[in-house]
Amino acid sequence: MFRFSRSRPQPPVAEPNESLIKLRRVVKKFSNAAGDFTVLKGITFDFQAGEFVGIIGKSGSGKSTLVNMITGIDRPTKGEIIVDGIPVHALSENQLAIWRGRKLGIVFQFFQLLPMLSLMENIMLPMDFCNMYSARERRQRARELLAMMEMEEHANKLPTEISGGQQQRVAIARALANDPPILLADEPTGNLDSRTAEVVFSIFADLVKQGKTVVMVTHDSSLARRVNRTVLIVDGEIVNEFITRALPQLTTQQMLKATHMIEPVRFEPGATILREGEPADSFYIITRGRAEVALRRPGGSDVVVFRPGVGEYFGEVELLHGSANIATVRASVEGPVEAVVLERHEFIELLGESEETRGVINRIVEQRLAENVATRQGGSA
């Protein structure tokens, strides 16, 4: 929908598996009259190039502080922030300002347009600051960005002469002035009506299609469900994304508890993960690769009945029924399988705390048991 009609050559796009933004053991403490308050508690997380990531969480959970760590607006008390190979936490204030102006586009909830400058001049400001493009090119580029946002006819107006939704479009255009690879938006739709918020979201989605990486803090759960990946922050910690995908009925506190419980495991291609008839002791959520669930038919041959992939799980049937493994599960020969694991007592404890989750899991168990019986009977017919 929105495209530049001309621009300077684009920087190389990172490989899909290369982490564009890396946070390593990031802690942020603030001090006030009541003492120290820890907002971020040892966060380690990666954002990939070309992703559209939504950051969600309750007010005060640390969402905005996390974005401020990436932009360098705030400094970590401990830990490292690496953005496109640059150790942001180690830059001086002058280095940060130059780096931020060239590499990041920042969109705020309250627009932050300078009221005494025209819309055109607001967009040109980052180009002036970073000494990018000639004076003529700056004006032409600002006009192209306004056209991209369907705001060209308002170029010479002041921010107070347009609506809030229009101001946010201009703020996005300003964030794109120096053609940064990364856009960070802190509640960009928080002050907009639902129709205007949808327009702003569509602009971000289209920018991702054009190769930008967008990280958006939002309280709007309907928008958060439509991004490539959602990051849930609870009390200054990031909840494991595969817990939120596999067990969405848990409360946020229960998800955080499960995050503390899980352990990562890895299986090489073709390796057996569970063997039919052996004691069952764990619940698995796949984080990478694909597994194969195979049943042994009366004649002795195996048949694959389920191929769980990323975000799907297995092992729940046996744990709820207190039985041995009813199937053999192995990693696909196509590649390794990585997973996070909850031990039996941890899994049962979580279900005991969430009646809704237990109900969902029980229905899935009944369905899978019925499918297994039908498969075995079909093999003996």
Q: How many angstroms separate the first and last alpha carbons of the chain?
A: 56
DSSP state of 164: H
> What domains can be seen in the chain, in order of their start residue?
19-238 (3.40.50.300), 256-380 (2.60.120.10)
The overall average pLDDT reported for the chain is: 87
164-193: per-residue pLDDT in tens? 889 988 998 999 999 899 999 988 887 778
Q: What is the DSSP string of 23-47?
A: EEEEEEEEEETTEEEEEEEEEEEEE
Query: What is residue 28's predicted lDDT score, i.e. its pLDDT?
Result: 95
Which pTM was predicted? 0.81
* Alpha-carbon span 182 to 208, nearest angstrom: 10
* Alpha-carbon span 242 to 169, nearest angstrom: 34
* Alpha-carbon span 302 to 332, nearest angstrom: 15
Q: Which residues of the chain form beta strands (DSSP E)?
A: 19-32, 35-48, 52-56, 78-83, 86-87, 104-107, 182-186, 213-217, 229-234, 237-238, 263-267, 272-274, 282-288, 291-296, 302-306, 313-314, 328-331, 337-343
Q: Is 274 helix (H, G, I), strand (E, B) or coil?
A: strand
Residue 179 phi, psi (nearest 5): 55, 55
Tokens 């909830």 appear where?
109
**14, pLDDT greater than 70:** no
- Cα angle 347, 349, 351 (rounded to 5 degrees) comes to 70
Q: Which of 218-227, 237-246, 332-341 has the least mean pLDDT? A: 218-227
User: Taking the mean position of all CA atoms in its chain, how far away is CA 221?
Assistant: 13
Number of other residues whose CB lies within 10 A of the CB of residue 310: 15
Q: Which of 15-19, 71-75, 189-193, 249-253 has the least mean pLDDT? A: 15-19
26-54: per-residue pLDDT in tens? 999 998 877 888 999 999 999 999 999 99
154-170: per-residue pLDDT in tens? 999 999 999 988 998 89
The answer to whether the beta carbons of residues 337 and 331 sit under 8 Å apart is yes
